[in-house]
């Protein structure tokens, strides 16, 4: 096992990893930008290193600085968290060259899944059902027209290098297509430096269902059921739950096995998430994320496992502490993402937190790097905390969420807490009856 791990991230996910390290008797090293000198992850880690100025391009994304921090502190492995360098194959390669272990899959698997066309082709080859779409990239508008006409409208144009919901455009008719195609390409170019796009059938009322998988890197793969992440705004998740309210146990077992077998066959190492759209009882692969997800705690809650601990074990060559048969679902969990944003337009709202009180009690977990007096810097993501509740069933989890939101106090900045209070009043949310379009429609009608 490693003696010391460096966490190449900030905020709540850095705390999450530091906590796992401490329970495993591993020393932790935080890295931070100038703006984050007073951040909680710096305070909580055993050691810290400043790696550069405020913009993430000059700090959290600076590979040379992060490697230097490893060498200075003697950290043997790096946990990347999510975002930043977590899905950067070049980073993983650089670590390998320096003899530092990356806590995550191989550069090859990251590369394979980072290109969405290759990912889809791989998924297909492994027996995973995929969304109907173009065979590979669509180079020009004429090809786009041919593909879309044959498939039928509506279609969605997506960036091959996509992520974070960017570079995606829906076209409902041949007339729309040209503008959608050009916009998706220029957005993709601006966001990812790669304007390749592909086309998929646009599903009209699917749910977003993702399967948590884990591989030992030696041919064994398991799944930890699904998370329903259908409540989205601008293709970004807002609330997640597990198990999915609409997934029957035999469907979970079926798609779970397909995913676990695929991970085994790939020889994949560590945590991964295979994302699907789910409509009329069918699963359609959209992408795979080769890292820990923001919403991993709902899976941890219902399975009673520590996914970060397992990631560290697999990276150290010790394998997972469970087999598929050990993994049994217990109850229901819901996570809400608390962002420093002003409702209803979701404008980022950085600033000083004047008071902070975290809810507690049975079945309540808070993953947050906030504290009273903390100044939320404007340079990074607006996620400031995750509230996760676990109950014996969905009803209990909802009641607990309501209760915990009521206890929570964050003063000084606007947050998304009022949004969740309002959502809990909705019969559709209470019934678990929502597709990926529900939230946007509801927001439009309400505000």
- The answer to whether residue 275 forms part of the interface with ligand ADP (CB under 6 A) is yes
* Number of residues forming the site for ligand ADP (CB under 6 A): 20
- The answer to whether residue 208 forms part of the interface with ligand ADP (CB under 6 A) is yes
Question: Taking the mean position of all CA atoms in its chain, how far away is CA 344?
Answer: 23
* Residue 291 bears catalytic tag: yes
Which residue lies nearer to ligand ADP by CB, 30 or 203?
Answer: 203
- The answer to whether residue 226 forms part of the interface with ligand ADP (CB under 6 A) is no
- The answer to whether residue 162 forms part of the interface with ligand ADP (CB under 6 A) is yes
Residues within window 370-389 making contact with ligand ADP, judged by CB under 6 A: none
Residues within window 414-443 making contact with ligand ADP, judged by CB under 6 A: 436
- The residue annotated as part of the active site, out of 291, 337, 394, 400, is 291
CA distance 149 to 156: 13
State the sign of the Cα–Cα–Cα–Cα dihedral 106, 164, 384, 62.
Answer: positive
Estimate the crossing angle of helix 89-97 against helix 107-114, to 10 degrees.
170
Residue in 7, 66, 103, 156 binding ligand ADP, rule: CB under 6 A? 156
Spell out the residues 6+ positions from residue 341 whose beta carbon is closer than 8 angstroms to its own.
347, 348, 349, 382, 414, 415, 416
Which residue lies nearer to ligand ADP by CB, 103 or 131?
Answer: 131
- The answer to whether residue 337 forms part of the interface with ligand ADP (CB under 6 A) is no
- The answer to whether residue 152 forms part of the interface with ligand ADP (CB under 6 A) is no
CA distance 180 to 199: 11
Residue in 55, 163, 348, 351 binding ligand ADP, rule: CB under 6 A? 163
List the x/- string, 165-184, binding to ligand ADP by CB under 6 A. Answer: x--x----------------
List the x/- string, 234-253, binding to ligand ADP by CB under 6 A. Answer: -x------------------
Which residue lies nearer to ligand ADP by CB, 51 or 156?
Answer: 156
Among the residue ranges 157-165, 176-184, 250-258, 374-382, the one whose residues contact ligand ADP (CB under 6 A): 157-165
- 209, 86, 299, 113: CA torsion to nearest 10: 40
Among the residue ranges 29-37, 155-163, 298-306, 362-370, the one whose residues contact ligand ADP (CB under 6 A): 155-163
64-99: string of b/e by CB count within 10 Å (b at 16+)? ebbbebbeebebbbbbbbbbbbbbbbebbbbbeeee
DSSP assignment of 204-268 = SS-EEEEEEEEEESSS-EEEEEEEEEEEEETTEEEEEEES-TT--HHHHHHHHHHHHHHHHHHT-
- The answer to whether residue 16 forms part of the interface with ligand ADP (CB under 6 A) is no
- The answer to whether residue 232 forms part of the interface with ligand ADP (CB under 6 A) is yes
By the 10 Å C-beta count (0-12 exposed, 13-18 middle, 19+ buried), 197 is classed as: buried
- The answer to whether residue 202 forms part of the interface with ligand ADP (CB under 6 A) is yes
Q: Are 229 and 298 in contact (CB under 8 A)?
A: no
**3-state DSSP helix/strand/coil % of the chain, to nearest 5:** 35, 30, 35
- The answer to whether residue 294 forms part of the interface with ligand ADP (CB under 6 A) is no
CB of 197 to ligand ADP, least distance (A): 12
Residues within window 112-151 making contact with ligand ADP, judged by CB under 6 A: 131
Among 319, 299, 295, 301, which residue's Cα sits nearest to residue 309?
Answer: 319
Number of CB atoms found within 10 A of residue 245's CB:
15
- The answer to whether residue 405 forms part of the interface with ligand ADP (CB under 6 A) is no
Q: Which residues make up the interface to ligand ADP (CB under 6 A)?
A: 131, 156, 162-165, 168, 200-203, 206, 208, 232, 235, 275, 277, 286-287, 436
The residues annotated as belonging to the active site are 291
């Amino acid at each position: 096992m490693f003696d010391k791990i460096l966490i190449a991230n900030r905020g709540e996910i850095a705390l999450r990893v530091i906590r796992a390290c401490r329970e495993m008797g591993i020393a932790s090293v935080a890295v931070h930008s100038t703006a984050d000198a007073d951040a909680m992850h710096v305070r909580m880690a055993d050691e810290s290193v400043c790696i550069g100025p405020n913009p993430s391009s000059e700090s959290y994304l600076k590979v040379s600085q992060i490697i230097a921090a490893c060498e200075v502190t003697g950290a043997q492995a790096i946990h990347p968290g999510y975002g930043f360098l977590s899905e950067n194959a070049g980073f993983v390669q650089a670590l390998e060259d320096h003899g530092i272990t990356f806590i995550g899959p191989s550069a090859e698997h990251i590369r394979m899944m980072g290109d969405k066309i290759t990912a889809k082709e791989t998924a297909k080859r492994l027996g995973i059902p995929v969304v109907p779409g173009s065979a590979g990239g669509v180079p020009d508008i004429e090809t786009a027209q041919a593909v879309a006409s044959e498939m039928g409208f509506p279609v969605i144009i997506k960036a091959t290098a996509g992520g974070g919901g960017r570079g995606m455009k829906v076209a409902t008719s041949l007339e729309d297509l040209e503008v959608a195609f050009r916009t998706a390409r220029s957005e993709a170019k601006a966001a990812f430096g790669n304007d390749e796009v592909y086309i998929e059938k646009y599903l009209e009322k699917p749910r977003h269902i993702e399967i948590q998988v884990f591989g030992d890197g030696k041919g064994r793969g398991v799944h930890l059921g699904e998370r329903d992440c259908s409540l989205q705004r601008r293709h970004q998740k807002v609330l997640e739950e597990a198990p999915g309210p609409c997934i029957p146990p035999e469907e979970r077992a079926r798609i779970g096995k397909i995913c676990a077998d695929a991970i085994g066959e790939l020889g994949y190492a560590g945590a991964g998430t295979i994302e699907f759209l789910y409509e009329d009882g069918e699963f359609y692969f959209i992408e795979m994320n080769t890292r820990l997800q923001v919403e991993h705690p709902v899976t941890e809650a219902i399975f009673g496992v520590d996914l970060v601990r397992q990631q560290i074990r697999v990276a150290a060559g010790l394998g997972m502490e469970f087999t598929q048969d050990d993994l049994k679902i217990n109850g229901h969990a819901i996570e809400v993402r608390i962002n420093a944003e002003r409702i209803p337009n979701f404008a980022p709202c950085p600033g000083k937190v004047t008071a902070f009180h975290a809810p507690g009690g049975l079945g309540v977990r808070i993953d947050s790097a906030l504290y009273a007096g903390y100044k939320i810097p404007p340079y990074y993501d607006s996620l400031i905390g995750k509230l996760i509740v676990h109950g014996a069933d969905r009803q209990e989890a909802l009641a607990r969420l309501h209760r915990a939101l009521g206890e929570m106090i964050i003063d000084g900045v606007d947050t998304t807490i009022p949004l969740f209070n309002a959502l809990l009043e909705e019969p559709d949310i209470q019934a678990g009856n929502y597709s990926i379009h529900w939230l946007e429609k509801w927001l439009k009608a309400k505000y």
